[in-house]
Amino acid sequence: MSSDVLAPAAAPSRWQRFKDSQLVHSFSRDKLAMVSFTIFVLYLLAALLAPLIAPYNPYDPSAIDIMDSEIPPAWQEEADERFALGTDAQGRDMLSTMLYGTRISLMIGICAVMLQMFLGVMIGLTAGYFGGRIDSFLMRLADIQLSFSTMMVAIVVLAVFQAAFGAELYADLAIFMLILVIGIAEWPQYARTVRASVLAEKHKEYVDAARVMGFKSSRIMWRHILPNTLSPILVISTVQVANAIISEASLSFLGLGMPVSQPSLGSLISSGFEYIFSGSWWITVIPGIVLVVLVLVMNLLGDWLRDVLNPKLYKG
Amino acid sequence: MALLEVNNLEVSFGLRQGAVKALRNVSFTVERGERVGIVGESGAGKSVAAFSILNLISRPGEITDGEILFEGQNLATLSDKQMRSIRGNRIAMIFQDPMMTLNPVLTLGQQMVECLQAHRKISTADARAIAIEKLRQVQIPSPETRIDQYPHELSGGMRQRIIIAIALLLDPVLIIADEPTTALDVTIQAEIMELLLNLCDSNNVGLILITHDLGVVSQITQKAIVMYAGRIIEQGPTKEIINDAQHPYTQGLINALPQQTVPGQRLNQIPGSMPSLQAIPSGCAFNPRCDFVMDECKTRLPEFTRSGGCSVACHMVRAMKQNPETVQPVDSSEEVK
Amino acid sequence: MIAFVIRRLIQAMIVMFVISLLSFSIQDNLGDPLRELVGQSVSEQERQELRDELGLNDPFLTQYLRFAGKALQGDLGTSYFFKEPALDVILKKLPATLELVFGATLIIVCLSVPLGVYSAINPRSLLSKTVMGLSIVGISIPVFLTAIMLIYLFAVELAWLPSYGRGETVPVYGSWETGFFTVDGLLHLLLPCVSLASIMLPLFIRLIRAEMMEVLESEYIKFAKAKGLPLKRIYFLHALKNTMLPVITVGGVQIGTMVAYTILTETVFQWPGMGFLFLEAVNRVDTPLIVAYLIVVGAIFVITNTLVDLIYGLVNPTVKLAGGKS
């Protein structure tokens, strides 16, 4: 915002205000929120720094030896000290593969939610601000879109594309397809919430005042109405990223997502599934735990945010 | 023996920041067939007082001290089951907003019959007959068909009549009405009040009327209780209070009535607003807004003083009674504008 | 009521129309029906003639109308792989999938209502806290992972329950077979139904709890207490009826979602249902089968949503005859 640049003196007070805010206060008293947040930050760091901290590069075929396949993790018998968490069926180091997998899962989750947010906020603002026919049309569309589950739409769309492109080409495009499909399928969540906030704010005095002062409607929306929708958006987003990660994992499990050569957590679990019957549980179970903990801390953070910010969320 | 005798009632809300006392040292009586008005601004604790009589304060509120003697029983110590046999049966309640009070998914008949059946062994057909009779008493047209309708098919005024009918179902001896007309259209308010007055009068039912409207109190009740920030500050016969209020706050309320204002003049408002319960000033809670404030008011809580038929909690009134010479307050509120 | 029903039906028809349009475009663009018919050893000219003959060069609209006309008569083309009418192939697998959905719904309804209501009434009790804690963990585990863990635990490690297939089934009507009446069938149903229920159950518990807590704060509940009604009646009639109204709406949508999740459960358990068949069809680029699946699943969605709306209209007295909310 331009005001920050013009008035640097305001910065410390803003920081001070943040420090004194209810959010921080409640955070410092809630152990579960603190633990969840710490774990989430660790995940983020691991994802960001994966190429630096991973002992091996799972994408480099020359570094993989098929003779190393299905080595159990270090605390088991027959373990190999080179691989702390064992290896998968192709002989890749589980730890490295999971670090890269987390990176991909988080990236898809976050990008997809950003796309959802973008679409939803635009549509919600339009519907709420202009009202009338535009509003009822867009909300009807949202109803219909929501009545078809995201999973169903995503499975069908991806399946059709996979059949159309062929598996080879699809594998290269998978990451974009996943972001697009998960991103597009869930916009109504945001659109409804933003619309509800706009409707609530629209008739307040400050908006009228801005209109009387002759501001354009786009400016009124961005500068005056949108900031008021931030807390519900924050709450939704936390849970949505968690959901997107689950969706991605499920799609990858079905073979419609990330290829085994460039696995996300979901495709890693999937690739280990057939070995579970022969006793190589770690290929499935360890990435499974990594995935569940990630999604769990995000859901816990979302719950906590909802309790603290208590925004008016749209109820289905 | 009085029908209802409330002694030193104290209600606290246990919040995270510590307990907040919503009611302190509240004592009053209601005689059989007597109509009592409790007046005050919103947040004065009058609704809490009403709900605490039936032990219906919502969590985290609870009665922390005092007793509520009703027909010789202390309601504050009754078990849930014993309490349930009194609610709706001996003491009935009428709520503020008739649009929210009736269950939207049950018919009026269901909501009336269940009340009778909760307290008496009675067949559904008999209960229905009583319900229709009561609906007739509250002047619901064609009650035989109305009884099978859902609440949303009736107007607000109609619904409040239904609620009054429900209150009357078991011929209670006391009705507590919490702002029964606030949510209604002005035109309907008077009708409902008159209905309530007539029904209480003809059935010799006691009434506790919670309201912020002194006008209504003066028309309906025989006794008035004025509350401020969780305490009673003045109580006595309604006539005396309306005609000769002692407490500066009561005077302020009376002056604020529209009929006290010369047409074209602004309403006489009491300056300032009531403190929140977490930040009640020391001494008399009204002292920051009072025109007659003395040093004593800021430090010491005023005790009750008799003045005619009323009792008043005000240092100034006490001082005037004891020694009329020493205190010369700016007399009569007319100069306070 | 009639106007309400008609409006809902019109809406359902519009949605079905859109689905059919989408299905048709998929059929039009995916795979090459000629190759399936005649193989690759036919000259280009002959191909063109055949295309004309089959009407593949007609305008989009003409082709769509032909497709829709056939679809209305139940003809969705012939599966490339099975060489049978696609719709028949799908419908043969429908009972297996519906059985899963039904079993999971049963588990969800039987557990979510009592647990949700209990934890709304006693939010501070240990059981409520445990239920809420477990429910957030439950939401965080993907269906397929639950399924895998259940298989690992009960089928691989403990070897108590079977890990794949439907087991012994008995015919009910025509090609409709069910596993509900045999012990073996029920054992086979157990794990898939539990995994399918695992994702929805916590959602419903949380939803019912949240709605119920909101209802319990309402004035009419307070009034019901002031009437001296027994708590049982207040909780299970006054509060529950109002709680269930929004839950019904959400529930309807979730049944549709569950059909999607059957694809995952069926894959893990190799359950011979529609979802499993669909994924096979995708891998074989069996276009008519893909299209038939879309239309059948679309119809299931539309039918459940319409039914739920109608039930809601019947249960909720405030839905007026004209269909609007008062």
Calpha distance A150→A154 (Å, rounded): 6
Are C197 and C101 in contact by the 8 Å Cβ rule? The answer is no
Return the sign of the alpha-carbon dihedral for residues A75, A78, A81, A84: negative
Which residue on chain C is closest to B149 by alpha carbon?
C317
CA distance B137 to chain C (A): 19
Q: Which chain C residue has the Cα nearest residue B81?
A: C230
What is the rounded CA–CA span in Å between residue C12 and residue C3? 14
- Pick C241's closest partner by Cβ from B58, B102, B105: B105
Alpha helices in chain A (DSSP H): 2-6, 10-20, 22-29, 31-53, 94-130, 132-147, 150-165, 167-185, 187-202, 205-212, 217-219, 230-253, 265-273, 282-309
Q: Tell me chain B's radius of gyration from C-alpha atoms.
A: 21
Q: How many CB atoms lie within 10 A of CB B82?
A: 11
Give the count of alpha carbons within 13 A of B278, CB side only: 7
Residue in B54, B100, B152 nearest the CB of C219: B100
Domain boundaries, chain C: 86-315
Structure confidence at residue B173 (pLDDT): 93
Between B and C, how many residue pairs show a Cβ–Cβ distance under 8 A?
A: 78
**Per CB distance under 8 Å, which residues of C are interface residues toward B?**
217-220, 222-231, 233, 237-238, 241-242, 245, 315-318, 326
Residue type, C55: G
Distance from CA of C230 to the nearest CA of A (A): 31
Give the Cα separation of C217 and C223 in Å (integer).
Answer: 11
Q: Which of A147, A164, A276 sits opposite C148 (nearest CB)?
A: A276
B47 closest CA partner among B182, B198, B239, B243: B182
pLDDT at A144: 76
Per-residue confidence at A312, pLDDT binned at 50, 70, 90?
Answer: low
Q: Which chains touch C (3 or more CB pairs under 8 A)?
A: A, B
Residue in A with minimal Cα distance to C266: A254
Cβ of B152 within 8 Å of Cβ of C317? The answer is yes
Candidates C211, C216, C223, C235: best to mutate against B (most CBs of B within 10 A) is C223
Rounded to a whole number of angstroms, the distance from the CA of C10 to the nearest CA of chain B is 28
Comparing B334 with A291, which gets the higher pLDDT?
A: A291
A276:C263 CB<8 A: no
String of b and e for C36-63 (b: at least 16 CB within 10 Å)? beeeeeeeeeebeeeeeeeeeeeeeeeb
Please answer yes or no on whether C290 and A159 come within 8 Å at the CB atom: yes
Shortest CB distance from C228 goes to which of B87, B101, B107?
B87
CA B91 – CA B54 distance, rounded (Å)? 8
Would you call C254 helix, strand, or coil by DSSP? helix
Residues 235-274 of A with CB under 8 A from C: 242, 246, 249-250, 253-255, 266, 269-270, 273
CA dihedral for C78, C81, C83, C88, sign (positive or negative): negative
Query: Are C152 and A146 inside 8 Å of each other by CB?
Result: no
Separation between Cα atoms, residue B146 and residue B188, nearest integer Å: 19
Q: Which of B147, B45, B34, B162 is nearest to B94 (CA)?
A: B162
Residue A195 confidence (pLDDT) above 90: no
- Measured CA to CA, the distance from residue B32 to residue A15 in angstroms comes to 63
Ordered per-residue pLDDT tens for chain C, 326 residues: 677 788 888 888 888 888 888 888 877 766 666 666 666 666 777 777 776 766 667 777 777 888 788 777 777 777 778 888 888 888 888 888 888 898 999 999 999 999 999 999 988 899 999 999 999 998 899 888 888 888 888 887 787 877 777 777 777 676 677 777 777 778 888 889 999 998 889 989 999 998 999 899 888 999 999 998 998 999 999 899 899 888 888 887 787 788 888 888 898 888 888 988 988 888 888 888 888 888 888 888 888 888 888 888 888 877 654 434 33
Q: Which of chain B's residues have a Cβ under 8 Å away from the Cβ of C245?
A: 105
C187-220: burial string, b at 16+ Cβ within 10 Å, e else = ebbbbbbbbbbbbbbbbbbbbbbbbbbebbebbb
User: Rounded to a whole number, what is the distance in Å from the CA of A214 to chain C's nearest CA?
Assistant: 37
pLDDT bracket for residue A79 (50, 70, 90): low
Which DSSP category does B279 fall into? Answer: G
- Choose among C260, C268, C305: nearest Cβ to A151: C260
Beta bridge partners of B224: B37, B236
**DSSP class of residue B29?**
E
Alpha carbon distance B45, B37 (integer Å): 13
Task: For residues B68 and C103, give the distance between their C-alpha atoms in angstroms, rounded to a whole number.
Answer: 55
From first to last of its 337 residues, what are the pLDDT tens digits of chain B?
Answer: 788 999 999 999 887 667 888 888 899 999 998 999 999 888 888 888 889 999 888 778 888 889 999 988 899 888 888 999 999 899 999 998 888 899 988 999 999 999 999 999 999 999 999 999 999 988 889 999 999 999 988 988 899 999 999 999 999 999 999 988 888 888 888 888 999 999 888 989 999 999 988 888 988 899 999 999 889 999 999 998 888 888 888 888 888 777 766 666 666 777 778 888 888 888 888 888 888 888 888 888 888 888 888 888 988 888 888 776 655 544 444 443 3
Q: Contact, B235 vs B311, CB < 8 A?
A: yes
Task: Check CB contact under 8 Å for C220 and B56.
Answer: no
Residues of C in contact with A266 (CB under 8 A): 142
Bridge partner list, C93? none
Token digits of residue C196: 């399918």
Count the neighbouring beta carbons within 10 Å of the beta carbon of residue B1. 9
Closest Cα to residue A139, out of A118, A124, A117? A124
Structural contact between residues A72 and A280, judged by C-beta atoms closer than 8 angstroms: yes
**Given this model, what pLDDT does residue A74 score?**
66
| Beta carbons within 10 angstroms of residue A167's beta carbon | 12
Q: Which residue of B has its CA nearest to C326?
A: B152
Q: Is A283 on the interface with C (CB under 8 A)?
A: no
Cβ-contact A269, A196 below 8 angstroms:
no
Which residue is associated with the tokens 């809902």?
C8
Strand order from edge to edge, sheet including B206-211: B91-94, B174-178, B206-211, B35-39, B223-228, B231-237, B310-313, B304-307
Separation in Å, CA of C200 to nearest CA in chain B = 27
Number of Cβ atoms within 10 Å of the Cβ of C180: 13
A111-316 fold: MetI-like fold (1.10.3720)
- Nearest beta carbon to residue B103 from set C217, C224, C316: C224
* Chain C residue whose CA is closest to A141: C15
B-chain residue closest to C313, CA distance: B105
CA B177 – CA B98 distance, rounded (Å): 12
| Residue of chain B nearest C318, judged by CA positions | B152
Which chain C residue is nearest to residue B51, measuring alpha carbons? C226
**Cβ count near C291 (within 10 Å):** 28
Token reading at A62: 């020359």
Give the pLDDT of residue C77: 79
Q: Looking at beta carbons, which residues of chain C come within 8 Å of A288?
A: 145, 148-149
Residue of A nearest to C252 (CA): A147
Distance CA C285, CA C33 (A): 11
Angle (CA) A269 A271 A277, round 5°: 90
**Å from B216 to nearest chain C CA?**
24
Domains and CATH numbers, chain B: 4-226 (3.40.50.300)
Residue with tokens 């009583």: B130
For an interface test with C, give the residue of A147, A238, A280, A310 to mutate (most C CBs within 10 A). Answer: A147
Beta partners for residue B62, in sequence order: B12
Q: Dmax over Cα atoms in chain B, in whole Å?
A: 71
Q: Which residues of A touch C246 (CB under 8 A)?
A: 315-316
Domains of chain A, residue spans: 111-316
CA pseudo-torsion sign A84, A88, A89, A92: negative
Residues of B in contact with C317 (CB under 8 A): 104-105, 107, 150, 152
Which H/E stretch holds residue B63? strand B61-70
Are A266 and C305 a contacting pair at CB < 8 A? no
| pLDDT value of residue C323 | 38
Rounded to a whole number of angstroms, the distance from the CA of C17 to the nearest CA of chain A is 13
Looking up tokens 């007026």 gives C320
Measure CB to CB from residue C220 to each of B100, B114, B118 and give the nearest one.
Answer: B100
- What's residue B272's pLDDT? 78
Q: Are B213 and B131 in contact (CB under 8 A)?
A: no
Cα A188 from Cα A141, distance rounded (Å): 8
β-strand pairing of B223-228 with B231-237: antiparallel
The architecture (CATH level 2) of C86-315 comes to: Orthogonal Bundle (1.10)
Measured from the Cβ of residue C320, the count of other Cβ atoms closer than 10 Å reads 16
Q: Which residue of C has its CA nearest to B111?
A: C224
| Alpha-helix residue ranges (DSSP H) falling in C30-179 | 33-38, 44-54, 60-72, 86-121, 126-140, 143-150
How far apart CA A85 and CA B69 sit, in angstroms, is 72
Mean of pLDDT values over A223-238? 80
Asked if A213 reaches chain C (Cβ–Cβ under 8 Å), the answer is no
* Partner-chain contact C226 B58, CB within 8 Å: no
Residue C89 CB contacts under 8 Å (≥ 6 apart), including other chains = C79, C82, C277, C289, C292
- Helix ranges (DSSP H) in chain B: 46-53, 80-86, 98-101, 108-119, 124-137, 143-146, 156-168, 186-203, 214-220, 238-243, 248-255, 295-299, 315-322
| Residue B305 parent element (H or E) | strand B304-307
Mean pLDDT of A11-37: 74
Helix (H, G, I), strand (E, B) or coil at B149: coil
Q: Among A55-64, A282-291, B222-231, C250-259, which stretch is predicted with the lowest mean pLDDT? A: A55-64
Show which subunits contact A, needing at least 3 CB pairs below 8 angstroms: C
Cβ(C287)–Cβ(C27) under 8 Å? yes
Which pLDDT score, from 0 to 100, does residue A5 have? 40
Check residue B334 and give its pLDDT. Answer: 43
**Whose CA is closest to B248, among B308, B289, B300, B214?**
B289
In Å, how far is C214's CA from the nearest CA of chain B?
A: 13
Please indicate whether, in this complex, the C-beta atoms of C31 and A315 are within 8 angstroms of each other. Answer: no
The Cβ-side half-sphere exposure at B305, using a 13 Å CA radius, reads 15
Say whether pLDDT at A4 is over 90: no
Q: Is the dihedral of CA B264, B270, B276, B277 positive or negative?
A: negative
Q: Which residues of A touch C148 (CB under 8 A)?
A: 269, 273, 276, 284, 288
For A152, the closest of C282, C297, C305 (CB atoms) is: C297
ipTM: 0.86
